[in-house]
Amino acid sequence: MMYELAIGDRGYSSWSLRGWLMFERFGIPVKTRFARLYTDEVQTLLQDFYPSKTLPAVKCEDGTIIGESIAIAEELASRHPDAGLWPSNPAHRAKARSLVAEMHAGFGALRNFCPMNIRLAYSGVPVPDDVAKDLRRLERIWADALEKTGSKGPWLCGDYSLADVFFAPVAMRIAAYGLQVNDQAQIYVAAHLADPTFRRWRAMGLVDGPDQPTYDKPYARRDWPGPKPMVATAVANGPSVNAVCPYSGKPVNDFMLLNGKTYGFCNAFCRDKTVADPEAWPKFMAIYHS
């Protein structure tokens, strides 16, 4: 079964990140369609996902349209019961569902004060009392999930599940804005930053269009706190180690230099997402290590 997924800017759209992780993290095939936020592209794209009015939205192969992330999550879990979206243990599954529901409806202070921006990281951010209250609530419910499910970490309910999908953008906010959480919560945040699937999303988010100035905040900037990528550079010409793109299998037209060798890709986006974080892409790393 093939799906179509409508998303907005990867650098900024927290709900789009959730929608994409539901497919990518659990190996469910999907065709992704993209629209730039705050442009007419969004409404044009959503015409193909009527009656959904927000991103993300999903079109199933049978024509069924699913809007709202929590509905997408439940429907995918129903259609793919063996994919592991929910924990198999009933008590753990109930805990994960409770976490997802609270995330979907809550933490408004944190979400409003710290819009998701995975292109920048800040320091010295003043934390209002209502945001601090949200952070303490996160510490409590994350710790409770680990305890009640017996999870050894880093994921909340044992193996990675929809509960972790829904809190991934929260982890990004904590990381990007340098918000203080206790050691246990910080381990959970760091696990998201290091997760290869998220690293692929962020690599694409760094290069999928110009910055959205509305998301920039007047705080001191610092380096992104996640794993440091290998240093790669876009270059104008080959020849390249590989004749076909590692992602599409098409002939190469755009090139990247890494550790003294040139690699080719079928288009600038394939190249640029790899330049952003080469180790995030298993298909490229297979060529790199060959």
Residue 223 lies in a domain: no
Q: Are residues 67 and 97 in the same domain?
A: no
Residues 94 and 196 in one domain: yes
Mean pLDDT, rounded, of the chain:
97
Q: Does the residue 157 lie in any domain?
A: yes
81, 34 Cβ separation under 8 angstroms = no
Share of the chain above pLDDT 70, in %: 100
CATH number for the domain harbouring residue 69:
3.40.30.10
Decide if 206 is inside a domain: no
Q: What are residue 131's phi and psi, to 5 degrees?
A: -70, -40
Pair 122, 178: CB distance under 8 Å: yes
pLDDT for 171 equals 98
Residue 217 lies in a domain: no
Instruction: List Cβ neighbours of 188 (8 Å cut-off, separation of 6 or more).
Output: 142, 153, 154, 156, 167, 171
pLDDT tens per residue, range 76-107: 999 999 999 999 999 999 999 999 999 999 99
Last residue of a domain, one of 36, 57, 79: 79
User: Taking the CB of residue 271, how many other CB atoms lie within 10 A of it?
Assistant: 23
Q: How far apart are CA 284 and CA 237, in angstroms?
A: 18
Does 222 fall in a domain?
A: no
Could you tell me the pLDDT band of residue 2, with boundaries at 50, 70 and 90? confident
Q: Which of 174, 16, 191 is nearest to 110 (CA)?
A: 174
Residues 162 and 111 placed together within one structural domain of the fold: yes
* pLDDT tens by residue, 93-147: 999 999 999 999 999 999 999 999 999 999 999 999 999 999 999 999 999 999 9
269 within some domain: yes
Regarding whether 98 and 71 lie in a shared domain, the answer is no
> Residue 279: what pLDDT?
98
Co-location of 126 and 196 in the same domain: yes
99 and 192 in a single domain? The answer is: yes
What is the predicted pLDDT for the residue at 5?
A: 98
**Among 200, 216, 251, where does a domain finish?**
200
Provide the pLDDT for residue 267: 98
pLDDT digits (tens, 9 = 90+) for 154-172: 999 999 999 999 999 999 9
Q: Both 138 and 187 in a single domain? A: yes
Same domain, 51 and 119: no
Mark whether 239 and 176 lie in a shared domain.
no
Same domain, 100 and 62: no
What's the whole-model pTM score? 0.96
CATH of the domain at 189: 1.20.1050.10
State the pLDDT at residue 28.
Answer: 97
Q: How confident is the model at residue 266 (pLDDT cuts 50, 70, 90)?
A: very high
Q: What is the pLDDT of residue 1?
A: 66
Overall number of domains in the chain: 3
Lowest-pLDDT choice from 214-218, 260-264, 272-276? 214-218
Same domain, 74 and 41: yes
pLDDT for the residue numbered 8: 96
CA 140-113-68 angle, 5° bins: 75
Average pLDDT over residues 38-42: 95
Full domain range(s) for residue 240: 232-288
With respect to residue 85, please indicate whether it lies within any of the assigned structural domains.
no
The pLDDT assigned to 178 comes to 98
In this structure, the answer to whether residues 175 and 262 fall within a common structural domain is: no
- Among 178, 200, 222, the domain-final residue is 200
Query: What does the pLDDT average to over 222-230?
Result: 97
